[in-house]
Chain A
Amino acid sequence: RKEVEQDPGPFNVPEGATVAFNCTYSNSASQSFFWYRQDCRKEPKLLMSVYSSGNEDGRFTAQLNRASQYISLLIRDSKLSDSATYLCVVKGPPNSNSGYALNFGKGTSLLVTP
């Protein structure tokens, strides 16, 4: 079983829609959580970190539920330019051998249509 699981999609949504992605992780010792964005044939780029209190960056909201080992990303008022693959990423605690390597889910594909 992969350590980070995501629904691969694809999610096809019209412009302006709200879309939510979910992710679960199996290592309860994981300490840091992120969402990355990867455009077709490009490298992954950090979209936002995820905190237990939940955090928002413009149209993007990330939530973490440590008890359920569940991470979510909500995109409001989606734009054509949001079309990409969204990768859920976790890291282990510092000073462990999993504390620096990023552990990626396989990604969720989003296509926003006019």
Chain B
Amino acid sequence: GAGVSQSPSNKVTEKGKDVELRCDPISGHTALYWYRQSLGQGLEFLIYFQGNSAPDKSGLPSDRFSAERTGGSVSTLTIQRTQQEDSAVYLCASSWGSYNEQFFGPGTRLTVL
């Protein structure tokens, strides 16, 4: 079946611009996660959605980052006023339930010039 999809696959933007990254989870998966993988930093957790519960935003690095999940399916991660240190690969994952295997999408490679 279809896996997690993300768009765009690559995004180049100028410092100060806003960007939106999209994630389509596996159909039926109730939990959705965003992670960021920066060069030399490894993967770090950003935000978690489970069903209709309030999201866990504890991993978001600043208030320039926000995410929403509409209809319990598609999620959008928004970064406002991008900075060069935001350059990274943003990975989305989904799972059936909070404690089951997480399946990752191919990621969006963001470059801020």
Q: Show the binding face of A for B, using Cβ within 8 Å.
A: 2, 32, 42-46, 87, 91, 94, 97, 99-107
Contacts and interface: CB of A to CB of B under 8 A. Distances in A.
B23 to A, nearest CB: 12
Interface residues of B, number: 24
A100 B99 contact: yes
A102 B91 contact: no
A42 B58 CA distance: 26
Contact of B101 (A46, A99, A105): A46
B43 A43 contact: no
Q: Is the interface of A mostly helix, strand, loop or mixed?
A: loop
A2 B44 CA distance: 11
Residue from A44, A91, A97, A100 whose CB has the most chain B CB atoms within 10 Å: A100
Interface string B61-98: 00000000000000000000000000000010100001
Given A43-B91, A107-B42, A101 B101 contact: no
Given A43-B91, A45-B104, A97-B58, A103 B45 contact: yes
B31 interface: yes
Contact of B99 (A87, A94, A103, A106): A94
